[in-house]
Amino acid sequence: MKLNRFTLTGIAVSFAFAASASYAADYPEQTITLVVPYSAGGGADNAARIIAQGMEAVSGQTVVIDNRPGASGSIGAGVVSRAKPDGYTVLYDASSFAINAVLRTLPYDADKDFIPVTLAGIVPNILVVSTDSPYKTLDDYVSAAKAKPDTLTYASYGPGSLAQMAGELLKIDTGIEVTHIPYKGGAPAIVDVMGGHVDAYFANAASGLSYVTQGKLRALAVTSKERMDELKDTPTMIESGVEDFTVYEWNGFFVPQGTPAEAVDKLAQIVQGALERPDVHERLSGLGLEPVGNSPEEFAEFVKSEKARWADVAKTNNIKVE
C-alpha cells in the first residue's frame, strides 16, 4: 500500500495521542522528587513532608524530599527549571516564587520555565508587637507612625520576604513611614520584637501563633479575610480600617516547562487527593496552613495576580534587592 504524506501525518497523530493517553494512565511509574528550596525543619519543609506522605498514599509511589535552600528559594527553583520535564522532578515553593520574580535577577524565567500545578495551602500573617508595647491596636501603631515619621520600625525575615512586602503594603495603604529591619530568619526577628528592639512584625501564623497564644507577643491584627479561629478576639486588617488588606503566605507545586499536560493534571489530582485526606488536613491545620488544592489553570492565575501585586508594591516604594 502506498502511503501519502497525509496518511503519514494521520498515523503520527494517532501514535502521539496513544502515547499521551498511555502516559496519563501510567503516571507516576517511579519515585517523585519534591525539591523544597528551603532548609529542613522550616515551615515549607514541614508542610511538604506531610503532603508528600499523603501523595504516597494516593499514588502508590515514593515521594522523596530534596532540600535545596539558598537565595530566598531561587537556588532550588533553578534546579527544577533545568530538570527533565517528565513530572518526576517537582518544585514545592512558597510566596517567594512570585516575589523573587519581581525583585531579583534569577537564573531562570519564572513565567516561561515553569508550569504551575496546584496551590497547596495558604497561611495568614499576624501583625505582632511586644507585650510591653504601648500599641494595643493597629490604629495605635499607625497613629504613632504618623506622629513621628521614620522613627517606628518593623522586622522581616529577610530582604524581599513576604514579611517585608506586607510591611511595605501597609505603608502604601496607610501613608505611614516606618523603617524596615531585615533579619536572617523569622526566629531572630521574633526574639527582637519580644524584646522590644523592633516595634512590629508581620509573623507567619505557622510560626508566630504560639507566641501570641502563650502571651509572649501581642497580636494587633491578622491579614486574612476573616478572623482566625485561634484568635477570635483579634480583628482583621480590614476590620482595623485598612481597606482590602489581605496577605497570605502560600505554598504550591510547579514543574518544568515542557512537562506533558497529562502529567501536570495527574499530579494536581494526586496532590488534591493528598490534601483531602483527614490525617493530612489535620496535620497541616496544626501548622497554621489552610489546605487548598486547585486546578493548574486556577493556580496559574493566582501566581500571575501575586506577581502583579508585588510588582506594584516594589515599584511604588522603590524596593530593590541586591
What is the chain's mean pLDDT, rounded? 92
Cβ(69)–Cβ(96) under 8 Å?
A: no
Q: Which residue ranges form the domains of the chain, and what is each CATH number?
A: 28-123+248-316 (3.40.190.150), 124-231 (3.40.190.10)
Mean pLDDT of the 46-70 span: 97
Q: Look up residue 298 and give its three cell numbers.
A: 486556577
pLDDT over threshold 50, residue 19: no
pLDDT at 18: 45
pLDDT at 13: 47
Cβ(209)–Cβ(231) under 8 Å?
A: yes
Read off the pTM: 0.88
Cβ(67)–Cβ(272) under 8 Å?
A: no
Task: Convert the pLDDT of each residue in 69-88 to its tens digit.
Answer: 988 899 999 999 999 999 99
pLDDT at 2: 52
At residue 138 the predicted structure's pLDDT band, cuts being 50, 70 and 90, is very high
SS3 string, 63-85, reads EEEEECCCHHHHHHHHHHHCCCC
Task: Convert the pLDDT of each residue in 25-47 to its tens digit.
Answer: 689 999 999 999 998 888 899 99
Task: Convert the pLDDT of each residue in 234-278 to its tens digit.
Answer: 999 999 999 999 999 999 999 999 999 999 999 999 999 999 999
Task: Convert the pLDDT of each residue in 168-184 to its tens digit.
Answer: 999 999 999 999 999 98
| 83-86 CB contacts, 8 Å cutoff, 24+ apart | 83/256, 84/256, 85/255, 85/256, 85/257, 85/258, 85/259, 85/260, 86/259, 86/260, 86/263
